[in-house]
Amino acid sequence: MISAEKIILGIDPGTTVMGFGLISVKKGKMEMVSIHELILKKYPNHETKLKYIFDKTLALIDEFHPDEVALEAPFYGKNVQSMLKLGRAQGVAMAASLYRNIPITEYSPKKIKMAITGNGNASKEQVAGMLQNLLKLKEFPTKYLDASDGLAVAVCHHFNSGTITDMKSYTGWESFLKQNPDRLK
C-alpha cells in the first residue's frame, strides 16, 4: 500500500554548519515540515563534529520518521583536506540514515540548483528565494543558507522522484557497497 504522505529529509553536509530540511509531500503538494542547522565550528576537533553529525541525523530521523533521505554529494575542489572532511561528514550522515534503514540518494550541487532555480550556477541566495516561493513561506525561517541548502536537497529529491539521472541511491549497506566497490578496502 502506498503511503498518502511522504517525508523527505534533505541534508547539506558540512563541517562548519550542516543544513537539514524536511518536507512533507501529500498528493503531490510540498510543505516544509522543519529546517535545522547544526553549528559545528564550536566543537574542538573533527571527530567530535562527526559524532554530533551522527547524533543530530539520528535524532531528526527518530523525531520526524522520514521515508527517504537525500544528500548533497561532495563537490570536487582544490583543497583535498576540506574535501576529505566534507566527505566524512557526508559519510556519517549516510551511516545514520542507513542505520535506520532509510533509503538515501545523492545529488550533485549543480543538479540541486538546477532543480530549484533552473540554473545550475545559481547562488545560495537565489536558491533560498526560490524555495521561499515554492513552499509559500512568508519569510525564510533561518539565517543560515546551509539550512536552506538542506531544504533544497529535499525539494530536489521530490522533483526527481522516479528519475535515475545524475544520482545514486542506496537501500542499505549491501547496496552501497555494490555500487561503490572502490570504497571497500
Are the beta carbons of 167 and 106 closer than 8 angstroms? yes
Q: How far apart are CA 58 and CA 66, in angstroms?
A: 11
Q: Phi then psi for 180, rounded to 5 degrees?
A: -135, 60
- The region, left, alpha or beta by phi > 0 then psi within -120 to 50, assigned to residue 107 is beta
Quick check: 1 and 113 in contact, CB under 8 A?
A: no
The 10s digit of each residue's pLDDT in 6-41 is: 999 999 998 899 999 999 999 888 999 999 999 999
Residue 12 among known ligand-binding residues: yes
Catalytic residue numbers?
A: 12, 72, 146
- 78-112, pLDDT tens digit by residue? 788 888 888 899 999 999 999 999 999 999 999 99
Q: Class assignment of domain 6-183?
A: alpha beta
Answer yes or no: is 146 a known binding residue.
Answer: yes
149 in a labelled binding site: no
User: What is the reported pTM?
Assistant: 0.84
